[in-house]
Amino acid sequence: MTDERVEVLTVGCAGYRLDVYVTGHLDLSRARVQALVAEGRVRVDGRVAKKSHRLETGQEIEVRVPSPEALDAQPENVPLDVLFEDSSLLVVNKPAGMVTHPAPGHPTGTLVNALLGHTDDLSGIGGKLRPGIVHRLDRYTSGLMVVAKSDRAHHALSEALQRREIKRLYITASWGHLSESPLEVTAPIGRDPVERQRMAVVEKGRYAVTRFRVVERWLGAELLRVALGTGRTHQIRVHLAHIGHPVVGDTVYGVGWERGMGGKARQWAKILSQRAERQFLHSWRLSFEHPLSGEVMRFEVPLPADLQTCAEWARNDDVS
């Protein structure tokens, strides 16, 4: 039987929803509390209750919280670019090509394997394969990530992420030229109804908003700064493809887009496409409040060498 801790609360004020009250009195996110309620792990006066149950003064709430699952991922001696570390968290610069956590086809060599090899203190709240992971980057996206080293930090950072208080800025290159700058794209994202491995803008998808600003205008593409208003899977790539300007080098959402260009731009785009060995997307700035001290933490990393080389070439319109 899974080990668990038992928390007992006595309701001091009537009228609160069960999930709201428990969230306010235990070090758990509301989503975590709702999951515990759905699993029958939360009882009011000895009876399983719904998350919307309205509490009365003097009622006793029993919450059974299972211990974090044992890790399946194994520690590995994989180099890490650590920008900051203390007892609560790490900030790392993930290289392109590194998968964030173990998955089918990628059981080793992931960021999680590297983190487990780097430190013994890592939050297990993320489960067997995602310890400490607060947010993720796609395999071929490089840049900044914050990782929790304690359950308290994991809870606080996850809550801050849901409240959109963790600011993540990206640099990307997209084909063609935006109709305006700055440009905000608001379009719901969900699973592609036909190709289930892809994401797409779909009517019943989750709310998603991305803000783009042109930094440099090239012959057949643009360098953009991107701010996430939400954090959906493949959000930047899906939104840019949706408006007809997919990410340069994106082999999922932008294959062959540059072939539609004419004149000098067509040859230029062909060469840039060959030079872009992966999707041109980099998380360059990350800022958040430290979960314990409240200090504002801000980190920046420049474009890695492969993307910087592409950008330097793209600034040159001469393809003769």
CB 92 within 8 A of CB 111: yes
182 cis-preceded (ω within 30 degrees of 0): yes
Instruction: With H, G, I as helix, E, B as strand and everything else as coil, classify residue 236.
Output: helix
Nearest one of 228, 253, 227, 248 to 238, comparing CA atoms: 253
Instruction: Collect all residues with Cβ–Cβ distance below 8 Å to 261 and sequence separation of at least 6.
Output: 220, 268, 269
- C-alpha to C-alpha distance for 60 and 90, rounded to whole angstroms: 38
Verify whether residue 138 is a known catalytic residue.
yes
> Could you give the angle at the alpha carbon of 174 between the alpha carbons of 319 and 283, nearest 5°?
120
CB 285 within 8 A of CB 167: yes
- Of the candidates 81, 138, 306, 318, the residue annotated as catalytic is 138
Going across the sheet that includes 42-44, the strands are: 4-10, 60-66, 42-44, 47-48
What distance, in Å, lies between the first and last C-alpha atoms of the chain?
A: 70
Quick one: DSSP state of residue 206? B
Active site residues: 138
